[in-house]
Structure 1
C-alpha cells in the first residue's frame, strides 16, 4: 500500500501542482478530484475517443459558460447534452441579458421587483423580455425554411443565428459540435417554442434526434463522458451509449447522494450493471459543487495536455 502524503501548499503554486498533491494525499475528496483530473486528461489526449459532456443544473448562470465554450473551441468535447435551462440562459446572455449576484433579499421582494432567484443568482424579467423578443425572430427565420425539424437540428440552426463568440450554442454550431436537449420543452426556450407553434406550421421531432445520436455513437471508436450534475442530461448521455456497451471512460461531479436510489446520486460504477459503462472502464465520481470542482479540474488538465 502507498502511504498518504501530507499536502504542501506554497506561494505561486499552479493548479496542476495542487491537484498533483491531491493525487498523493489519499482516497477522500481530494484524491477523487485528482483521479477525475487524470481521467479527463487521458480522455482529451485519446485521439480515438469522442467526449460527451452533459450539462445539468444551473451551470451557465452559475459561471461556467466560457469554460464550456472554450472546451468546444479547443475540441476537448465532441458532443453536448444540455438541459433546456442552460441553453436558455446561454441565449439570454447572447442577446444582451445578464445574471446578477445578490444574496439575502426576501423572495417576495424579489417577486415584486420582477426578479427570479437561482440560489445566489438573480435574473430580471427585463432580461427574459429581451430573450423572448429575440427567440421569436429566430423561430420565424428557421420556420420560414423548415416546417419539421429535430431538436438537435433546431439548436444547430439557432446557434448559427446567434452573434456572440462566448455563446456555447453559437460556438457549437460553428464548430459542428452537436448539441442535444432531450428536456428542451421544460425551459423558457420550450415555453416560447410551444407558444410559437400555436399559430405557425412548425413541428419539432424529438424522436428524430435518436437517428443522429445512434450513428454518432456507433461511429465512435471510444466514448468518454463528462457528467456535470445529474438528472435527465446524465441519463441521456449514459443511455445513448447502451447499444455499444457503454462508456469507456467518464467523470461525474454531483452534489446528490446515492442513498435515495436516484440516478443523479448514483456512482458511475452503478452504470456498469446496466451496460451504460463498460466493465473495465475508467470511472470517477466526485461529490461536490460543479462550479467549484470542474474549473479546478479543467485548469489542471490545461497545464498537462
Structure 2
C-alpha cells in the first residue's frame, strides 16, 4: 500500500508535460557579459517575462503599426482608381492616435511627446485640460522635482502644489492667468464680430466653434511669446504640423478656472463641444483606407475618447495601453484591450497589448525602439 501511495504521489507531482518546444519563446534575459548594448537590452525584454515581456510586445506592436502600408493589403473590388495605384498604396500609413494624461506633461515625458509631434510621427492627439495647460505653463515657468512624502499642509503654506514628486509653484498659475485672460478677451471679441456678421447677413442662427479652442492662442499671442513657445511646446508643434488636438474635459483644470474667472468679466464666451466631437469621431470614421492605431498613456478621458471614436469605424487595428490601473473595479482606465473588443472599439483581429507600468518608465523606452529608430516622416505625408 505504501509503495502504491508513493507511486501515486510521484505521478501527481511529476505529471507528464506537453512539449512547448517550438511553440513558445524561451525565457532569457540580457547577458551583461556582452557589454552594455541598449538596443539589445530592450530587445531582450520580450523574453525576460512579466511586464518586461509586455513592453517587448508593445514595441513589436508599435513597429507593426508604423511599418504598415496600404500596399501590404490586397487590392479589393471596391478600391478606387487612386487606391489601385501602387505608389499611392506605398504612401498610405496607419493613422496613429496618441492619448495621454496631464501628469505626463507635468513630467519629463512632455519632451518625448514633443519629439513625436515635432516630426509628425502621430496623427491625432487627445489629452486632458492639464495636458494642455501644463504644456503652456512650462513655457512661462518651470516645474521642479520634489518628493512624494512632502506634507501637503507645509507645501500649501509655501504656495507650492505637488504632483506626485513634482512641485509646481502657485506663481506659475498666476502667470498663466495674466497670459491667457487677454486671449479669452480676443476670442470673445471675434465671436461677437461673427455674430454681428451673421445678423447683418440675415442669418437666423449662430454656430461658432473651434476644432480646438486653444488653436486661437497661436494666432493672437505677441511675437515675443511666439518665439519663446514654438521651439518648446507640444501645442506649438501640433499647430505647426496641423495635428488636431482634442480635449474632452477642457474645463477640468486651470483652464476651467480661467474660464470661470473670465465669465465674471463677460458670460458670453462660447465653446461648441458638438463640433469638437464631430471632428474627433471624423478622424476615425474617415481614416479608411488607412488602418488606425492607438497608443494611450494612462487612462481616464483620453483613453475612452480615442477608443470611442474608433468604435465609429468598427474598431482600431492596433492598440497599446500603458498604465498602472487594474480592471477589477470595472474602470475603463484599468480595462485591458479585450474589453474594448467587446464594444467594437478595437477589432477582434487587432494586434494589442497592455503594459502594466508607469508610463514615465515604459514610454521613453518604447519610443527609443520604435519612432526614434524610424526615418522621420515627411510633413507632406499622412494627409489622407
For residues 196-233 of structure 1, the C-alpha deviation after alignment (integer angstroms, 9 at most, x for no partner) is: 23433310111211221232222212111011000111
Question: In the aligned structure 2, how far is the partner of 1:211 from the partner of 1:153?
Answer: 12
Which residue in 2 is equivalent to 1:13?
A: 37
Residue in structure 2 matched with residue 154 of structure 1 by the alignment = 213
Q: Following TM superposition, by how much is the alpha carbon of 1:124 offset from its aligned partner in structure 2, in angstroms? A: 0.7
**Deviation at 1:84?**
0.5
Structure-2 separation of matches of 1:98 and 1:232 = 26
Match of 2:45 in 1: 22
Cα deviation digits, residues 120-166 of structure 1 (max 9, x gap): 01111111110111011222233322356545331222245462122
**Bigger strand fraction:** 1
Of stretches 44-53 and 60-69 in structure 1, the one that deviates more from structure 2 is 44-53
Q: 1:53, 1:79 within 8 Å by CA — same for their partners in 2?
A: yes
**Is contact 2:116–2:122 with CA below 8 Å preserved after alignment?**
yes
Consecutive unaligned residues of structure 1, counting only runs of 5 or more, are none
Q: Is the 8 A contact 1:99 1:123 kept in 2?
A: yes
Contact residue 57 and residue 230 of structure 1 kept, 8 A: no
* Match of residue 248, structure 2, among 161, 182, 186: 182
Equivalent position of 1:217 in the other structure: 284
The answer to whether the aligner puts 1:291 opposite 2:360 as a matched pair is yes
User: What residue ranges of structure 2 are gaps of 5+ in the alignment?
Assistant: 1-22, 69-91, 193-206, 375-384
Which 4+ runs in 1 deviate beyond 6 A?
none
Larger radius of gyration: 2
329, 342, 364: which one aligns with 1:273: 342
- Structure 1: how far apart are the matches of 2:218 and 2:326? 35
Q: Please say if residues 41 and 304 of structure 1, whose CA atoms lie closer than 8 Å, have aligned partners that are also in contact.
A: no
Which moves more between the two structures, 205-214 or 247-256?
205-214
Deviation at 1:302, TM superposition (A): 4.0
Query: Could you say if the C-alpha distance between residues 302 and 277 of structure 1 is closer, same or farther in structure 2, counting changes exceeding 3 Å?
Result: closer
Map 1:248-267 onto structure 2 (within 5 A): 248-267=317-336
> Are residues 1:40 and 2:53 paired?
no
2:144 aligned with 1:100: yes
CA displacement 1:50-89 (0-9 Å, x = unmatched): 1011112500111111111110122211111101011111
Q: 1:302 to 1:55 in 2, by over 3 A?
A: closer
- In the alignment, the residues of structure 2 paired with residue 303 and residue 223 of structure 1 have an alpha-carbon distance, to the nearest angstrom, of 20
Partner SS state of residue 293, structure 2: strand
Structure number with greater CO (CA < 8 Å, separation at least 6) is 1
Q: Deviations over 1:99-123 (max 9, x none)?
A: 1112243221110111111110111
Residues 102 and 132, structure 2, Cα contact 8 Å, conserved in 1: no
Question: TM-score when scaled to structure 2?
Answer: 0.75
Kindly provide the CA deviation profile for residues 234-279 of structure 1, in whole angstroms up to 9, marking residues without a partner as x: 0011001111101110100011011111111111111000000011
Alpha-carbon contact 1:258-1:267 (below 8 Å) kept = yes
Tell me how many residue pairs correspond in the alignment.
302
Structure 1's 128 and 11: CA in aligned 2 closer, same or farther, altered over 3 A?
farther
Judged with a 3 Å threshold, the aligned counterparts in structure 2 of structure 1 residues 174 and 41 are, in CA distance, closer, same or farther, namely same
Most deviating of 145-154 and 49-58: 145-154
1:22 Cα offset (Å): 1.1
Q: Matched residues in 2 for 1:215 and 1:86: separation?
A: 22
Q: Give distance in 2, aligned partners of 1:119 and 1:22.
A: 28
Do 2:127 and 2:247's aligned partners in 1 also have CA atoms closer than 8 Å? yes
Question: Cα RMSD over matched residues?
Answer: 1.7
Note if 1:234 corresponds to 2:256: no
